[in-house]
Structure 1
Amino acid sequence: MFDSSLRLNRRNFLAAGGGLVVALSLPSSPRRAAAQASPGFAPNAFIRIDRQGIVTMVMPMAEMGQGIHTAHAMLLAEELDVGLDQVRLELSPASDALYGNPLFGPQSTGGSTSIRAFWMPLRQAGAVARTLLLEAAAQKWGVDPKTCRAESGSVFETSGSRHLAYGQLVDAAGTLPAPAPESVALKDRKDFKIIGKPHRRLDTPGKVNGTTVFGIDTKIPGMKIAAIAISPVFGGKPKSVDEKAALAVRGVHQVVLTDQAVAVVADHMGAAKKGLDAAAIQWDEGPNATVNSADIIRQLKEASNTPGAVARSEGDVEKALAGATRRLEAVYQLPFLAHATMEPMNCTVHVKKDACDVWVGTQVPTMAQTTAAQLTGLPVEAVTIHNHLIGGGFGRRLEVDGIEHAVKVAQQVDGPVKVIWSREEDIQHDMYRPYYYDRLSAGLDASGKPVAWTHRVSGSSVTARYFPAGMQNGVDPDGVEGADQPPYAFPAIHVEFKRVEPPAVPTAWWRGVGATHNIFVVESFIDELAAAAKADPVEFRKALLSHNPRALGVLTLATQKAGWGAPMPQRQGRGVSVQFAFGTYMATVAEVEVGTDGTVKVHRLVCAVDCGLQVNPDTIAAQMEGGSIFGLTAALHGAITLKDGRVEQGNFDTYLPMRMDEVPVVETHFVNSAEAPGGMGEAGTAAVFPALTNAIFAATGKRIRTLPVDTKLLKSI
C-alpha cells in the first residue's frame, strides 16, 4: 500500500525534453521516521524497497493498453540498477502534489505525454535511490562510495570482494539525507542496459490468465448492480417511469431517478437491464429535440465564411495569392467520432455518511476525487479513488461524466453499487471528437512551388471547456495542432481558428483531437498542390523540407522501405503523409486497392518514426499498429450523426470497428535519434488518415475531402 506518511517537501523545476518537468523529493525527517517505523525504504514518491529487496514502483500514470507501466518501470529500473523482474507495480493514489503530470499540472494521463512528462523525474527517482543505497553500503564498509557500484539489486565493492543486496541496506539508507534529484548524475546513453531495448510488457501475464482487474471487474461485498438510461436527447431529463413494473422484475431492488437519467438497481446486470426495459421511461426531451446533423454542418459552413482568431500569420498572403500563377481552394470536413472503448463506461461507488469510495478506471484520478467530493459535499480527503487498469481510454476517461452519474445513483443506494453503461448508452452518450469544417487556399508559382498557404479551422474547442486558461487570444492550441506549424516552409502562411460550438453535442479529446484532423487536412491539400504542379508527391514534399532534417529523414526512410515509385497494379496506389505532432516526427505510406464496387482494401502501412530516444521499441511498434488501426477504423467507417436530437449509431453494427480481414500489415521503422523522447499514443492515429486518402487518389484519381470514405463515390472509377 502507499505510505501516506510521505509528504512533498519541495518541487525542483527544470527544463528538459522540451517541457517543464517536476522532480519530486521527500523530506529527510519524515522519510527517516517512515524507514524506522516500517521495514522499508521509500526515498521518494515513486519507489519503495522492503527488507526482502522487493522493489515496488508506484505508477503515476494510468495504464489503458499503451504499455506505460512497462516503459515507466524501465526508466526507473535503469537508474536504480535492478532488473524488470525485480520490480512490482502499484497504481498511485489520487495526488496532484506527488503524481501530477509535469506538462499539465494535475494528475492526468493523456496527450501522449506519459514518457515526455516523466522521462526525467523517474530516472532521477531511481538515481536518488541508487545513490542512497551506495552511500549506505559504503558507510557499512567504511569505504568511499566511489569504490562501490550497483548492479541487479545489489551493491558491490569495486574489488568484488564484498556485496550487499538492497534489502540488507534499506534500513541504513532510510536514515540518510536525500540529495536533490537534479544533483544526482544520470547514466550516459551508452551505458543503458534496459532503456532502448525491447522488453515484454509487465501487464501481459495478468491479462492472459485473467487475474488483471479492470474497473468493470470490481467486486465489493454487498455490492449491487445498476443499469442506467440517460436522456436520449442531450440536455433532456426523465419525465415519468413505471416503477412498479420495474420492481416486479425478479432481482430488482430499486429505481433511482437523477437529473438526467434513470437507473435500476438489482442483484445482477440481467435483472437490472430487464427492470430498465420494464420501466417504460418517458423523457422530457428539452430544447435539443430537433437538432440534426445537417443543421450542425450548415452552422459550421456559415461560420467558416467569416474570419477567426489568428493562430499564425507570416508574410503577405494576399499579395502572394494575387500574384500566383495558379490558385487552389478546398473545403475539408471530418465528422463527430465516438471513442467506443472495449470496456464500456462503468463506475462503482459507496457513499457513506463521512466517506466515499470510488472504484473506476480513470485517466484523471484527482479530478474524479474532486467531482465525487463536490457531489457528496464531503471533503476531498474523505473520497478515496481506487484506480484500475482501463480497457481503452483514448481520451474518453479524461472525462468524469460517468463518475458523476454513478455518484448521483449511489447517493440514493444503501451500500456499494456498480453502475454499468450498455454499449448503446456508451456510444449514444459519449463525448465526441468535434466535427470540423476547414477552408484552405494556396498559390503556386510558374514552377509549381507554393508561394502562399491559408487555413481556417472551424469547430468546437475542447480546450475552452476543459481548460479555459489554455486558450490563447481566441485560439485553441490543440484545435490548430498540425495546422499552425506544419513541417513545410511556405513563403507566406496564415492560419485561423474559428470556434463554433454545435448545439447540444458534447465534445472531448479523442486519441488526439487537433492533430487527427489537421494532419489529414494539411497532408491532403499538400497532395492536391503536388498534383496541380504535376509533381511526384514525395519529391514535392522533399522540396519543402530542406529546413527540417528530422521530417525529411522520416519521409526518406518510409518511402524507401515502401518501395515508393515501383509500379502497382491497376486500381492500386500508394499515398504518403508527413507529420510533427506530440513531439514526434512520422511519415506513413499506405498501399491501397479500390474495388470496382468502391470497397477500399488497405494492404500495407509502412511507418517511419523519429520519436527521439526510444524507451521500449516493442511498445512503440505496438502503438503504431494500434493507433493506425484506430485511425483506419475512423477513416473508413467512423461517423456519429444526429437525427431529432438523438445519436443514430448505437452499437458495433452501426458504428463499425475494423474487422480482422480488413487489417493491413503494419511495418514500423525507427530513426536512431538522441533527441528527447516524443509521444507515441496518438501519433499513428493522426498519420494514417491522409496516407489512406492520398493512396485512394493515386489509385482512382478521386480526391477524398470528407470522411469517412464514401465508397459510393469510388464505384466504377
Structure 2
Amino acid sequence: MTEEKKSGRRRFILGGLGVAGALIVGWGFMPPRQRLHGAHDLPVDQNEIALNGWIKIAKDGMVTVALHKSEMGQGIHTALQMLVAEELDVAMSQIKTMAAPIDKIYGNVAMLADGLPFHPDDNGTIKHIAQWMTSKTARELGLQVTGGSSSVKDAWLPMREAGAAARAMLVAAAAKEWSVPVGECLTENGVVLHSSGKKLSYGELAAKAVESQPGLVSLKDPKNFRIIGRPQARTDTTAKVNGTAQFGIDAHPEGMVYAALKLSPTIGGKIKRIDAKSALAMANVLNVIDLSKSLDDRSVSGVAVVAKSYWEARKAIGAVVVDWDAGVHSQLSSETVFKELAQKLDAEAGFTYYQQGDAEAMLVSKAATKTISAEYRAPFLAHATMEPMNCTAQFKNGQLELWVSTQVPSIAVDVAAKLARISAEKVHLNMCFLGGGFGRRLEVDMVLQAVAIAMQTNGLPVKLIWSREEDMAHDMYRPAAMARFNAALDDKGNVVAYQNKSASGSVTHQVLQRTFGVPGAGPDKTTAEGEFDMPYQFANQKISHVIVPTPVPLGYWRSVGHSHNAFFKESFIDELAHAAGKTPVSLRRELLSNNRRHLVVLDAAMNKAGQAPEGRAHGIALHRSFGSIVAQVAEVSVQNGQIRVHKVVCVVDCGIAVNPNIITQQMESAIVFGLSAALHGEITIKEGKVTQSNFHDYAVLRMNETPQIEVEIIKSAEPPEGIGEPGVPPIAPAVANAVFALTGQRLRSLPLKLA
C-alpha cells in the first residue's frame, strides 16, 4: 500500500473516532466475549432443558432454537434453523423457534465490522487491527440488529457452534451412560447411536447432557453438509398463508385501544396551537395528546388521538385543528437540495476514500488523448413497506410491554425504557413478523410515540397505526445524491485516469444523533460505498465524497449507498467503454483481470443471457455489495416512449449458498424492488413538504411490468456473505445501459425517463 493510501486510511479512522472510537479503544483490550452462553439461561418449561443460549430440548426430542434476527420476508428464520439443524444432526421438522431474549450474545458483530471503510483488496495491518477491535467492541455493545445483509454471515459461526456444542454434550452423555468411548458414537435425526445397536434420543439425554463434559467441539467440514447448501422449504410459509403469523399490526392484547397521528406537514415544523374540541366530542374518543410535549427532538412534532377503534381514531384525528409553525425549512425543495449538492461539489474537495497513482495529473497529461465527464443524480426515496409503521404498548404498574415489528429489538427496549424512566429489565418485548423492513424498521420513532401515548392511557394497551399518508410523508428517506466523473483515455483506448466525486447527506450521522443522541462526525462509509471499493483496476484513480448536511430525515434504505452509487459507477463504466470503442463487457473484463470471482460472475451472466431478440437490447451491470458479487443483464425495449424490461438474468456469488431457494427469492425480490425505484421511485419536496402521499403518486412495480427473472448461483466454498440487498444495486444501471444500447440516449438521472 502506498503511503498516501495509508495516510488516508489513518485519517478516516482518527477522524471518525468520536464517541464510538473511544469505545473501540477502551474495549479493544478487553477479553473476547463468548457468544454461546447468555447472561441468563433461556426460559424453559418443566419438560425442557437449555443446553446453551441458543438451544433447548424437550423430553419428546423437539428442539427449540432462539432466533435473534427479524423475519421481514427474507426467509432468515429458515436459514438460521438450518445452521443449527446441520451441526446438531436433527431434521428441520424437529425444530421449533422462539424469539431470542435481549442479551449481548445475540448482538450483531458482522454488521459493525463490515462498516469499516476499507477497500476489498486492502490486506494491511491497519485493516486487520481495526476489524479486530471493532468486532470486540460489537460484542460488548451487543446490539441486536437485523440489517446490512449480515444475518447469516453473523450467525454462521455462533449458531453452528451452538449446535455442535449441544451435539457434543449429548454424545458425551450417551457415551457415559453406555461406558463407551465418545468416538464410537454417532448421531442422526435427533438420536445418538452406537455400533452395538444401542440408541438414545436427544430428549432422553438432555438432562444428563447438561452435566457432561464434551471436550473439544469441532464444526462439520462443508463437504459433509446434509442440510446447508440444499434447497429447504421456508418454515414460516404455512403460518403466513393460514393467517396465524403475528405481525406487529396483528397485536391485540385485552382492553386495547387505538391511536392515530397527525404529524407536522413541513420538515421541522412545530405545533403552535391545538383545537381538539370537535375531536373530543366524538363518540368513543378517549384522549388527544400533544406528542411534542412528551418526546424530545428525535420525533417529528405531532398530535395523537386515542379512541376505542382505529376508524374512530382516524375520523377524530381529521377533526383536530392544528396551527403549525412551518419552521425554517418551509422553502426547502428538491431543486434547492440538488443546487446545494452541485455547489458543494464545486467548492469542496471532500474526503478521499481511495486513491492510487495521480488521476488529477493524468487527466491533463499528454497521454490523455480523450477526456470524458459526466454528472449523475438520484432522488430521495421512501421505504414504503406494505405494513405501515405501528407499535402496541402498555404501561402499567411500572412495567412496559411492547408488541412491535422491529429490526432493532435491543435498541427499541433501551429507548422505550429511557422514555418511560424505568430499567430495561422492566420492558417486555413481543417480537412480531415484519410486513417489510428495508431499513425503515431500524428506526424507533413509532416505538417512542406508542410509549408516550401509552403513558397517558391509564394502563390500557394502545395500538398506534400510521396512515399510509403519514408513512409516506414522514419516512426516513434514502438520500438524494449527485456524482461527477472525469476520466481520460490514451490513443489505444486504455483508461489512464479515473476520478469520481459524489455528494449527499449522511445517513449514519443522522441515525447516531436521532437514535443515540451522539453527534455524527467525520466520514461515513455508506455515502461512498460501491464507488471507492469497486473491483475495477485503474492505475490512476481518486474517489471522494462530500457530506452535505440536510434537514430531510435520512435512513438506511435497502442496499444504502450501493443503491445509487452502483447506478452512477456502472453507467459511467458503460460510457467509458463507448468512448474507448469497446464493448461494455470487454472493457469490464480488462479492468477485472486480477479479480477472478468477478470475472466468473460476469461471464456466467453473459453466457446465460445469450443474444437479445430483435427490437430489444441488453444492458450489463456488475456490482459487489455486502460481500456478494452480482451481475445482471437486463433485456429492454422501448414501447410507446416507455421503457419496458422483459427479462433479467442475475448471477450471484455469495460464498456458500446456505439455502439456494431463499437466495433465488431474495434476488427476485431485490430486482423487483430495485426496478420500482429505477422506473418510478422519487420523493420530491416542495415548500418544505413531501409531495407524495400514497401509491398513486409513489408507484411500485405492477405485475404487468415485472420481467421474467432467471437466477444462477455460483458454487463456492467461501464463507457466506450478504444476500438481502446485493440484488438491488445492479438493476438500475443494467436497464439504463440497455436503453443506451437501444436508443443512444444516456440516462443519467433516476428514475429513468426517456427524453
Residue in 2 that maps onto 1:330 = 374
Change (3 A) 1:27 1:337: closer
Shift in Å, 1:440: 0.9
Cα deviation 1:40-87 (Å, max 9, x = unaligned): 321221111111111001001111011000001001100000011110
Among residues 118, 128, 132, which one is paired with 2:169 in the alignment?
132
Shift in Å, 1:94: 2.5
Change (3 A) 1:523 1:27: closer
8 Å CA contact 2:509, 2:521 repeated in 1: no
Change (3 A) 1:22 1:120: farther
Matched, 1:54 2:62: yes
* Rounded Cα–Cα distance in structure 1 between residues aligned with 2:658 and 2:676: 28
Matched, 1:299 2:321: no
8 Å CA contact 2:631, 2:652 repeated in 1: yes
Residue in 1 that maps onto 2:315 = 274
Among residues 228, 240, 243, which one is paired with 2:273 in the alignment?
240
Q: State the SS of the aligned residue for 1:418.
A: strand
Among residues 207, 210, 225, which one is paired with 1:174 in the alignment?
210
8 Å CA contact 1:310, 1:475 repeated in 2: no
Cα deviation 1:261-316 (Å, max 9, x = unaligned): 11111111111111111113322222222211111111111001121011111101
Shift in Å, 1:178: 6.1
Cα deviation 1:460-506 (Å, max 9, x = unaligned): 1112233489999932111111111211110111011100012x210
Question: Mean alpha-carbon deviation: is it higher for 617-626 or for 533-542?
Answer: 533-542
Residue in 2 that maps onto 1:157 = 194
* Rounded Cα–Cα distance in structure 2 between residues aligned with 1:518 and 1:21: 36
The aligned runs of 1:597-608 (5 Å cut-off) are 597-608=640-651
Shift in Å, 1:153: 0.6
Among residues 87, 93, 98, which one is paired with 1:90 in the alignment?
98
* Rounded Cα–Cα distance in structure 2 between residues aligned with 1:273 and 1:21: 51
Q: State the SS of the aligned residue for 1:574.
A: strand
* Rounded Cα–Cα distance in structure 1 between residues aligned with 2:643 and 2:660: 30
Cα deviation 1:129-167 (Å, max 9, x = unaligned): 0000000111111111110011001110034x1111110
Q: State the SS of the aligned residue for 1:408.
A: helix
Residue in 1 that maps onto 2:665 = 622
8 Å CA contact 1:362, 1:397 repeated in 2: yes
Residue in 1 that maps onto 2:536 = 488
* Rounded Cα–Cα distance in structure 2 between residues aligned with 1:87 and 1:495: 48
Question: Mean alpha-carbon deviation: is it higher for 644-653 or for 251-260?
Answer: 251-260
| Structure 1: 5+ residue stretches without partners | 1-19
* Rounded Cα–Cα distance in structure 1 between residues aligned with 2:321 and 2:476: 26
Change (3 A) 1:116 1:174: same
Q: State the SS of the aligned residue for 2:503.
A: strand
Shift in Å, 1:102: 4.6
Among residues 298, 303, 309, which one is paired with 1:262 in the alignment?
303
Cα deviation 1:558-590 (Å, max 9, x = unaligned): 000000xx35323x2110001111000111000
8 Å CA contact 1:43, 1:178 repeated in 2: no
Among residues 508, 513, 530, which one is paired with 1:463 in the alignment?
508
8 Å CA contact 1:309, 1:473 repeated in 2: no
Residue in 1 that maps onto 2:184 = 147
Question: Mean alpha-carbon deviation: is it higher for 315-324 or for 683-692?
Answer: 315-324
Change (3 A) 1:220 1:567: closer
Residue in 1 that maps onto 2:548 = 500
* Rounded Cα–Cα distance in structure 2 between residues aligned with 1:102 and 1:496: 25
Shift in Å, 1:103: 3.7
**Residue identity opposite 2:234 in structure 1:** R
8 Å CA contact 2:508, 2:520 repeated in 1: no
The aligned runs of 1:628-643 (5 Å cut-off) are 628-643=671-686
The aligned runs of 1:186-265 (5 Å cut-off) are 186-259=219-292, 260-265=301-306
Q: State the SS of the aligned residue for 2:57.
A: strand
Residue in 1 that maps onto 2:751 = 708
The aligned runs of 1:539-688 (5 Å cut-off) are 539-563=586-610, 566=611, 568-570=613-615, 572-595=616-639, 597-688=640-731
* Rounded Cα–Cα distance in structure 1 between residues aligned with 2:255 and 2:335: 48
Cα deviation 1:188-219 (Å, max 9, x = unaligned): 11211100000110000000000000000000
Q: State the SS of the aligned residue for 2:51.
A: strand
Q: State the SS of the aligned residue for 2:577.
A: helix
**Residue identity opposite 2:246 in structure 1:** V
Change (3 A) 1:46 1:389: same
Aligned-residue sequence identity (percent) comes to 43
Q: State the SS of the aligned residue for 2:160.
A: helix
Shift in Å, 1:661: 0.1
Change (3 A) 1:239 1:467: closer
Q: State the SS of the aligned residue for 1:241.
A: strand
Shift in Å, 1:385: 1.6
Q: State the SS of the aligned residue for 1:684.
A: coil
8 Å CA contact 2:38, 2:53 repeated in 1: no
Among residues 735, 739, 746, which one is paired with 1:692 in the alignment?
735
CA RMSD, Structure 1 to Structure 2 (Å): 2.0
**Residue identity opposite 2:745 in structure 1:** K
Change (3 A) 1:99 1:48: farther
* Rounded Cα–Cα distance in structure 2 between residues aligned with 1:134 and 1:332: 61
Matched, 1:370 2:414: yes
Residue in 1 that maps onto 2:80 = 72
8 Å CA contact 2:512, 2:520 repeated in 1: no
Shift in Å, 1:184: 1.5
Q: State the SS of the aligned residue for 1:304.
A: helix
* Rounded Cα–Cα distance in structure 2 between residues aligned with 1:691 and 1:614: 24
Shift in Å, 1:96: 3.0
**Residue identity opposite 2:165 in structure 1:** V
The aligned runs of 1:509-520 (5 Å cut-off) are 509-520=556-567
| Structure 2: 5+ residue stretches without partners | 1-30, 113-137, 293-300
* Rounded Cα–Cα distance in structure 2 between residues aligned with 1:185 and 1:471: 44
Q: State the SS of the aligned residue for 1:494.
A: strand
Among residues 141, 144, 156, which one is paired with 1:107 in the alignment?
144
* Rounded Cα–Cα distance in structure 1 between residues aligned with 2:332 and 2:455: 33
Q: State the SS of the aligned residue for 1:608.
A: strand
Residue in 2 that maps onto 1:7 = none
Matched, 1:400 2:432: no
Shift in Å, 1:391: 0.4
Residue in 1 that maps onto 2:394 = 350
8 Å CA contact 2:172, 2:213 repeated in 1: no
Q: State the SS of the aligned residue for 1:286.
A: coil
* Rounded Cα–Cα distance in structure 2 between residues aligned with 1:579 and 1:510: 17
Residue in 2 that maps onto 1:10 = none
Shift in Å, 1:39: 3.5
Residue in 2 that maps onto 1:12 = none
Matched, 1:81 2:129: no
* Rounded Cα–Cα distance in structure 1 between residues aligned with 2:705 and 2:712: 22
* Rounded Cα–Cα distance in structure 2 between residues aligned with 1:657 and 1:93: 36
TM (normalized to structure 1)? 0.92
8 Å CA contact 1:21, 1:121 repeated in 2: no
* Rounded Cα–Cα distance in structure 2 between residues aligned with 1:673 and 1:473: 39
Matched, 1:526 2:568: no
- Name the count of aligned residue pairs: 681
Shift in Å, 1:124: 0.6
**Residue identity opposite 2:469 in structure 1:** E
Matched, 1:24 2:35: yes
8 Å CA contact 1:93, 1:386 repeated in 2: no
Residue in 1 that maps onto 2:6 = none
8 Å CA contact 2:571, 2:736 repeated in 1: yes
* Rounded Cα–Cα distance in structure 1 between residues aligned with 2:253 and 2:38: 36
* Rounded Cα–Cα distance in structure 2 between residues aligned with 1:606 and 1:100: 32
**Residue identity opposite 2:465 in structure 1:** I
Residue in 1 that maps onto 2:135 = none
TM (normalized to structure 2)? 0.88
